[in-house]
Structures are given as structure tokens and as C-alpha cells.
Chain A
């Protein structure tokens, strides 16, 4: 049954993605033909423009991961280009040591770029986007100042000659093909990262940071390798840039260049590889065909940026996304296939209990949780109910590690569960959903579910960068499981659809599928029935029962008491942060204070 459904769905989903892949392939082939043929249909001038576009793309492809995928606003990347250009030129000219070959100088420049890429990126790991934007801007300012002032090395305002390329790359044509080849390699490398768990993880951190943490994604572990890669590519590009310029002065590295890099990505669209590539080409060509506007090019770029931000936040990538143009079926119903779950979710044998003992948490002088103890048993459904503000969601947040309780402790089996550290919960088999679904709108439903399997990812950054077989196998396994889980929750037919096109109730089921990716020992659901129709609530109830039947302990926060009383094995009632009552559904239903305070007569 299980395999049948998976196969059937693969067929459903396949034509759309195949069709898209084929269109992309055609475009790519056309681009390659145009790029290779350019020297034969035009003059040297256009070849040099083509070379410049290719060199810029080497930088932008890496920056795209930082800006387009991770959503970090790196506006001063010209600084890393400058570092790369000067390092390469200084080393090949023998300004500091004996002159070395450009083939050694370029990798050394890349290492420099990688180091500074991380240093400049450090604030991004902890602080809001504006700080990172500022750090890169400040860095860009001081690097130019240093290039100007450090005269005995950089030549100051007079400058130094760029590296000379050895044959056969020493003429325009050879250099053009070299840069083109490198640009193609960079496209391949960064597309590999984009497709891997690193790419989807970056997008998850960008658009749903809290949910990403709950799925076990660590922001710094994702961002640091990306900063290294982007920095290295930027500096490498700088070395080539110096080769193109033949002579470099600080004037060559204007902030306008930074802006060009940055805006290319935004025009292209976030989370895309081809969009920014087209953006780069457009922005490089634009001043050439509108020569009278050359002096105003910064103004033009800035104006474009404003227009994009205000009118077209999706960029070119949205125009290219043919797959999501077709209308979705109206009046869709979610039809979970709970019978499929048992085969996917191995029966949990360890009989661990998730326990809270005398938890106290205060916000200022308000005791949001005031001495709460409860046990979530494996294979059972534990309901947590109470009026608004009674501390239900806060209790979940304590278990997930978003808040550290001031008193009391958490245990998982025999071991204490350390307070805080939300990104380590998934690794311990604890998954959750959120009161307002925290889903990434710009990626497909399937990709959203795959994010839930982040802790299963073993392939490292290098393996992902080169798309080694191990990484591909891992990704395929993740995809298969995610698709199967989508069928379990009843959304298999929507796997390839961009998530922001779905309706609210469907998002709730996506969150459950995402949480099931780790085959959790404990699953916490925060008001999963809110906004669902009564039919959907019944289906949700059956789904939750099927999940607990696999041995998963479920902690269910809900206001629909009918659902609670129907499916729960134990119920805890909170009021003003304290436990008002605890027991079986029947006991709670008859509990006088609960009836008075919450259920109503």
C-alpha cells in the first residue's frame, strides 16, 4: 500500500518538475551557445564586457548564497573583491615576497577572502540584519582607505599592475573563455549547495528561524561555511578582475560595484540561481546600451532597488516560475492516509517519559508558569488545556528550549533535558508545531517538509558543494520520506506547489508532516485544530491517534475540548500558570472547578 501510494504520487509530481527541468536545460544550453559564440559575432569590446560579466558572476554566485538564500544583507562585498584583487596583484608583482605565479596567487587570495568573509560575517550570526549590512558597509569603507594609505604595498593612489595571465589566457579571447569556464564551475558549485540541505536550511533560517531551530538547524553551522565560500569566491573574482583591469587603483573599487552585485541578486529574485545570473547580465549591459546615463548609473541602480523592494519583491525568478502559474484546484480537502504511517515510522521501543517537575518561569513579576509538573508517556496523547494566558504555549516553549525555567527541571527518560538550546531538541527526538504555522512560503511544500529532516543530514559542506554520491543518496532518501509523509497527512498531490499558495488548514498539516520527519519520540502540537473545519478536525484527530499508535508521545495544546476528550489518554488543565486539575478525560469532564473556570456549565 505504502509503496503504491508513493509511486503514484511520484507520477503525479513528476511531469511538472520534469517539464520545468527540461525548460531550464534548454535555457541553459541557449546561454552556453550565446556565451561561447559571442567572440565570433561581435568585437573585442563586447568580449571584454562578457569577461566582466563572467568575473562578476564568480563573486555574485557566492554572494547569492549569502543574500538570496540566507537573507543576509551583505551590501559591501566590493571589499572582498578589493582584497582579492590587491592580494593577487601584490603577490604576482613581488611587492612583499618574491613574485609568484598567478596560479598560486589566486588560491592565496581566496584564502584571504575566506578569512575576511567570516570576520565580516560574525555579527550576522547573532544580530539583526541591519547590523550585518552596516558591518559590510563599514568594512568596504575601511578597505578602500587602507588600499589608499598603505602605499609601499598597494601603491596608494597610483596603484599597481594587475597579474599577467600566462598563455593561452594572455589574450582577450583566452581570458574570456577562462572566466567563462570559471563562472560555469561556480554556477555548478553554488547550485549544488542551493539544492542540498545547506540551501534549504539557509532559506529556513531566513524565513522561519524559530521553526528551523526546532528542526535542529544551527544558524552558525550553516552560515560560517557559506561565508567562507562566498568570501573565497569574491576574492578569487577580485584576482580575475585585477587581471582584466591590467592596472588597479582604489578608484576601481567603488561602492557602485557593491551595489551592482547586491542588486543583481535582488532583481534576479531570492532563492534562485538563474534569476541572479540574468540580473547580473542585465546590470552589466545596462550602462553600455544607455551611455548618456553612465554618470547616473548609481542613481539608476538605487532607483531599481527601490522599485524592486516596493513593487516586485520576488524578482525575475517569479517570472521564470512557470510551474506555479497553473491554478490550484478549488475546494480541496485534506485527506490523511493514516494507515501509511506505521510502515514509515518505526515503532519506538524505548519507553522513555518526557517529564516536567515543578517548572517555574517568570516574565518580570508575572509567573507565567507557576510550579507545573506533568509526564508525557510514550504512545499516549496528553492534552493540555486551559483559558488563554494560562501558560500552555509557554510550557511548550520551555520544553522546546526557547525559555529556560527559573526553577524546576525537565527530564527525558532517566536523563535531564538541559534548559535552553532549542536547536538540540530535534536530535533528542522532540518535534513540535507552532500556534501560527511557521512555514517557508517561497519554497515548495515538499522542500518545507524536508527541512524537518535536517538532523538526518550527515553529508558535510564539501560533499554538498561537489554533489558527491553520498550527499545525493541522502537527499534522495530525505525526499522519499518527505513525500511519503505528505501522503500520510493527505497533501501528496501538492508536493511541488509553492507553499504560500496553500490555505491555512493545509499549512497545519504540513507542519505535522515536517515534525514527523525525525520520527519523533515526542511530538508537541500547539493548537493544531485552530482554523480547521469540523471535518478536518476529525481527520486531524485520527492522524494524531495514528501517530501515538506508533509509540510517539503526543502533547496536545488545544481549545477544542471535544477533540481533547475524544482522543486524549490524560489531560492537564492549567489556570494562571498553575495546574487546576489532571487526570483522565472522564475525570476532567466531571471536575467541578474545571467546569466553572473553563468548560462552562
Chain B
């Protein structure tokens, strides 16, 4: 049982961590927490199933097509729901605009794709039991994504520009960095990460429209645990959440697992509002 908890927990945790990184990547350049993060995770599964099972495309082509579609949605998110409200003095408007867009995505999926969970294709075919690919693929995907992002942020010029904008938006603009284009790029990048989360977790979560709301919440918990904008915190927080949830799931049963996660979330928020690993504090006066 311990092995099952570990396998299922790490797999779920890796998916949550990836959605958490999706939140963070959007947040870093815009200071906006977007409700579309979870929907992108959901779409990763739905698009994957659509391209590979329904259209019969090769896996790698289906994967790339999924990421492209997600990136386009990231672009749309920035244009429709983020850019118009950034200038507004009302800080909370982005919550509403991104929520509206997220719900529209969810509803269109429900109508066009159906409200029943549909199967997701087998991708590799290696391993069984606790070594089943549905458990290890998300973990590997998460690890590769982190390595890729670290490489991007540390070794490439674009990545460094991201970091500069995230660190101090105004200073970066004063240096002549194309802040708006970088923001658009970061939304597309975030959407790709969200797509990877959904695609790699497809066999675990299936291609199901309601995954969006679920991932919105379970993907946000690692961000709250790890601190806004802190990717390392999101990964650790995601894995902790996944293990905690699956342990509760196996030990006390499904309903109480949800209750336990929710309680953990509230307690952490109240005890450590900045997350366990810290994030920047805004000046009030």
C-alpha cells in the first residue's frame, strides 16, 4: 500500500506542481493569478485524446499539436482577460475576467467534447503496477519541465528578460525590454506548461471537462503553500499535496481526503499567509 500511495501521490503531486508553475509563470510578468491555469491542464488531456485517439495522429504530433493549441489559448488569455484590466486601478478585476474566460473554455469543452470522461491513449507502454506509465510519466514530465525552465531562465537571453520583468517591471521597461511582448510570451509559455500537465496526467485524470475546476484548486494549493511566484515552492508544495491527498485517500477514504486537503489549505493560509517558502510582500502605504 505504501508503494501505491507513493506512486499515486507523486504522480498527482507532479501534475499539481505543473499547474502551480502555470500560475506562477503568468503571475511573474503580470502579477495576475489566472483562473485559466486549471483549464489549460484540462485541455492538455482533452486535446491529447482528441488528436491521438479521435483523429489518429501519431503521439508526438498529437503532443505538439496539443501544446500549440494551449499556447494559442494562453495568447488569447493575455489579450482578452489580462491586458484590458492591467491598467485598471481595481486590483481584483483580473479575478473576474480570467474566471469568465475560464468558464467559457470549460463550457465550450463540455458542449463540444461532452460531459463524460473519455479515455486517454497509452503513450509508452512500459511498466505495470506501481511502475505503470500513468504514474511515472507525470513525474518525468514535471522534472523535464523544471530542467527546461531552469535552462531557459539561466542560460537564454529571453529567459533572463523574463526574470528581469518579474523582478522589477518598471526597471525592466526603463532598460528597454519589450515588457508587453514578454508578457504575451510568458502567457504562452505558461499555457504550454499547463498543456504538459494535462497531457502527461491524461492517463490518470482522463479527458474530462470537469478537471479544469479541480486542477484550478489543486494547482493553486501548491502556489499558496510555496509562495506566489516561487516555482521551487510550487514543486515541493505540489508533491507534498499529492502525497498528503493520496495518503488520506488510501487511509480514510475519498471524501475525507478532500476535506483533509481543504483543511490543510486553510490552516496553512492562516498560519503562513506568504506561503511556507516565502514570497515578496507588497508595500501598503
Contacts and interface: CB of A to CB of B under 8 A. Distances in A.
Interface stretch (A31-39, A80-88, A136-144, A489-497): A136-144
A133 B273 CA distance: 15
A142 B33 CA distance: 22
Contacts of B254: 145, 149
B92 interface: yes
A310 B266 contact: no
Interface in A263-319: 266, 295-296, 298-299, 301-303, 305-306, 308-310, 313
Interface in B57-101: 80-81, 84-85, 90-93, 95-97, 99-101
Interface residues of B, number: 42
B111 to A, nearest CB: 6
Contacts of A138: 217, 220-221, 262, 265
Contacts of A305: 96-97, 99-100, 103
Contacts of A309: 85, 93, 96-97, 100
B285 interface: yes
A310 B92 CA distance: 12
B99 A142 contact: no
Nearest to A140: B213
B217 A303 contact: no
A446 to B, nearest CB: 23
Contacts of B96: 73, 266, 305-306, 308-309
Given A75-B99, A137-B213, A402-B285, A306 B107 contact: no
Contacts of A402: 284-285
A416 to B, nearest CB: 22
A123 B269 contact: yes
A383 B285 CA distance: 21
Interface in B124-178: none
B255 interface: yes
A7 B211 CA distance: 63
Contacts of A129: 91-92, 95
Interface string A120-152: 001100110111011101110110011001100
B217 A141 contact: yes
A295 B104 CA distance: 12
Contact of B103 (A73, A119, A126, A302): A302
Helix, strand, loop or mixed for chain A's interface?
helix
A137 B100 CA distance: 14
A306 B81 contact: yes
Given A146-B259, A309-B93, A127 B269 contact: yes
B85 A310 contact: yes
B80, B107, B259 interface centre (most CB from chain A within 10 Å): B107
B273 A71 contact: no
Nearest to B102: A302
B84 to A, nearest CB: 5
Given A142-B262, A305-B103, A313-B93, 10 more contacts: A123-B270, A126-B269, A131-B269, A134-B224, A139-B262, A209-B284, A303-B100, A306-B81, A313-B90, A434-B285
B182 interface: no
Contacts of B265: 135, 138
Interface in A100-125: 119, 122-123
A452 to B, nearest CB: 18
B216 interface: yes
Interface string B249-279: 0000111001101100110011001000000
Contacts of B106: 298
B273 A298 contact: no
A273 to B, nearest CB: 21
Contacts of A131: 224, 269
Interface string A179-221: 0000000000000000000000000000001100000000000
Contacts of A266: 96
Nearest to A119: B266
A134 B91 contact: no
A73 B91 CA distance: 12
Contacts of A145: 254-255, 258
A62 to B, nearest CB: 20
B81, B95, B213, B216 interface centre (most CB from chain A within 10 Å): B95
Interface string A135-179: 101110110011001100000000000000000000000000000
Interface in B210-229: 213-214, 216-217, 220-221, 224
A411 interface: no
Contacts of A412: none
A397 interface: yes
Helix, strand, loop or mixed for chain B's interface?
helix
B103 A310 contact: no
B215 to A, nearest CB: 11
A141 B245 CA distance: 15
A137, A139, A255, A301 interface centre (most CB from chain B within 10 Å): A137
Contacts of B255: 145-146, 149-150
Nearest to B224: A131
Contacts of B33: 130
A135 B95 CA distance: 13
A580 interface: no
A456 interface: no
A434 B285 CA distance: 9
A259 interface: yes
A295 B111 contact: yes
A299 B284 contact: no
Contacts of A133: 95, 99
Lowest 10 CB-CB distances: which A-B pairs, in order? A302-B103, A306-B100, A305-B100, A299-B107, A149-B255, A142-B258, A138-B217, A129-B92, A302-B100, A298-B107
A377 to B, nearest CB: 26
Nearest to A209: B284
Given A137-B217, A309-B85, A146 B258 contact: yes
Nearest to B253: A149
Contacts of B266: 119, 122-123, 135
A209 to B, nearest CB: 8
A331 B220 CA distance: 51
Contact of A306 (B101, B216, B253, B284): B101
7 contacts: A122-B269, A130-B92, A134-B224, A138-B221, A210-B285, A299-B108, A306-B80
Contact of B107 (A135, A210, A302, A313): A302
Contacts of B93: 309, 313
Contacts of B253: 149
A280 B114 CA distance: 29
A145 B254 CA distance: 9
Contacts of B111: 295-296, 299
B97 A73 contact: no
Interface in B236-258: 253-255, 258
Contacts of A308: 96
